[in-house]
Chains A and B, each alone.
Chain A
Amino acid sequence: MIPELNIYKPKTLHEILSLLDQHQNEIRIIAGGTDIVPGMQQGSARFNNFHSVIDINSIDELKSITFLENRVLIGASAKFSDIHKSEIIIKYFPVLAKAAGKIGSTQIRNLATIGGNFVNNAPCADSVPPLLIYNALLTIKSLNSERKILLKDFLLKPYKTQLLPNEIVTQIELPLISDKFIGDFYKLGRRRAVSISRITIAVLIDIEDEKIKELRLASGAVTPIGKRLIKIEEYAKGKTADKVLFRELSRMVGREILSETGFRWSSQYKLPVVQQMVFQLFMSLYSEAKESKSK
């Protein structure tokens, strides 16, 4: 059973910030509610230490998706169904649009928000790998301050972030990238919908003159928190793009993940799956790059 709650429904961001300032740890923000409502209902330890919630759904400025000259701003309480269908996101950040469409189910995507997906830093947050490869920058506000921080620095360890009790993530900023990048998102769960991700990978690759100009690679679920695989990205830079290299990179991804997580009971299953899946991702992007060039 959910305990008796005070539910605040502020109409402005300033009201939210005042409430957070006043109540600190005693209050929690509710946006989509897909984590917090069932969590409270089940008496989960993550959700039993507060008696008030702030429903932020009536604040339009926290929901909008805006295109600016060289970047796109996504309100932290934009819903995944809106991100999945947003023409701006589909055009400029297709890997994020694809990932947004794979989260939960239709019902969950109609409620769940992008900010809510990463503020609790669950390893299985599907939007994290795509946001990492697009170098997402967060705006965090409190009553008396505002700061910007890269998502990669915001995420500390499983279920731990840099967010302070009096703060709220208001916006996610994605800088536009070269249109030469092609990318993809892969999610492996136990079934297609409403499954907790076992493995997620997001890739962006820019192949020019048969060489890898830039590779961006991020994993989720299989590593303790979502993260960029920087060493592999650097290794790939400038190398000739071919099957041999992609096989080598895929093996490196497997090794990197194993060194992150340590050997687990599931490693024997996950490792070959990750390696094969990354290899297939690379190969399909490689042929896509060749095709788009021959056109």
Chain B
Amino acid sequence: MIKLNFVLNGESKEITTKSNKRLLDLLREDLGLYGTKEGCSIGECGACTVIMDGKAVNSCMVLAGQIDDTEIITIEGLGDSNNLHPLQKNFLKQGGVQCGFCTPGMLMSAYALLLENPSPNEEEIKEAIEGNLCRCTGYKQIIEAIQKTAKELAKVISIAE
């Protein structure tokens, strides 16, 4: 058993778990956060993407024992059904969600991109989501949703200034 201290969606956590778990298992089995999906388990599909210290990572490739002292953001930290994040609203509006299995991972990759680069061009968006497979939408609607969100957030910032 190992003891872990980390920040999850803005809240400090102290948890004891088995040393053979991946971050993905810790989130789903120990913390009941089922938003993070398990797809391929080998880093190809991106369904398990979460944000670790500000960067998108595949949670199937990180051991739970490695997250001590890090900050993790999962889809549950992005927004909830009463208070959707602008990315979530725009994914819905643009038709970027169909079966929905890739959506949490896709949203986390998009969110990590906007954290680092608030006004990405189309190529930068494609690069940010290149590790997230979607078999329904054909990606166009997803890219549009991210572009739209970036524009909206830029407007909010310029008004605030």
B20 & A193 in contact (Cβ 8 Å cutoff) = no
A98-117 with Cβ < 8 A to chain B: 104-108, 110-111
Neighbouring A residues of B149 by C-beta, 8 Å: none
A38 & B43 in contact (Cβ 8 Å cutoff) = yes
A57 contacts the other chain (CB 8 A):
yes
Q: Known contacts being A4-B20, A38-B42, is A110 close to B65, with CB within 8 Å?
A: no
Neighbouring A residues of B58 by C-beta, 8 Å: 34, 107-108, 111
Residue count of chain A within 8 Å CB distance of chain B: 30
Neighbouring B residues of A42 by C-beta, 8 Å: 41-42
Q: Which of A5-13, A135-143, A223-231 lies on the face that meets chain B?
A: A5-13
- B130: nearest chain-A partner, CB-CB: A193
Residue count of chain B within 8 Å CB distance of chain A: 33
Q: How far is A6 from B63 in the complex, measured between Cα atoms in Å?
A: 12
Distance in Å from the Cβ of A63 to the closest Cβ of chain B?
A: 13
Q: How far is A108 from B19 in the complex, measured between Cα atoms in Å?
A: 22
Q: Known contacts being A57-B66, A107-B58, A110-B56, is A38 close to B19, with CB within 8 Å?
A: no
Q: Known contacts being A38-B61, A81-B55, A111-B58, is A105 close to B20, with CB within 8 Å?
A: no
B12-49 with Cβ < 8 A to chain A: 18-22, 41-44, 46, 49
- B127: nearest chain-A partner, CB-CB: A106
B160 contacts the other chain (CB 8 A):
no
B60 & A37 in contact (Cβ 8 Å cutoff) = yes
Q: How far is A96 from B2 in the complex, measured between Cα atoms in Å?
A: 38
Provide a sorted-by-A list of 19 A–B residue pairs whose CB atoms are within 8 angstroms. Answer: A1-B20, A2-B20, A5-B19, A33-B66, A37-B61, A38-B60, A53-B63, A104-B43, A105-B43, A105-B46, A106-B130, A107-B46, A107-B56, A108-B43, A110-B55, A111-B57, A111-B61, A111-B62, A194-B43
Chain A residues within CB distance 8 Å of chain B: 1-7, 9, 30, 32-34, 37-38, 41-42, 53, 55, 57, 81, 104-108, 110-111, 192-194
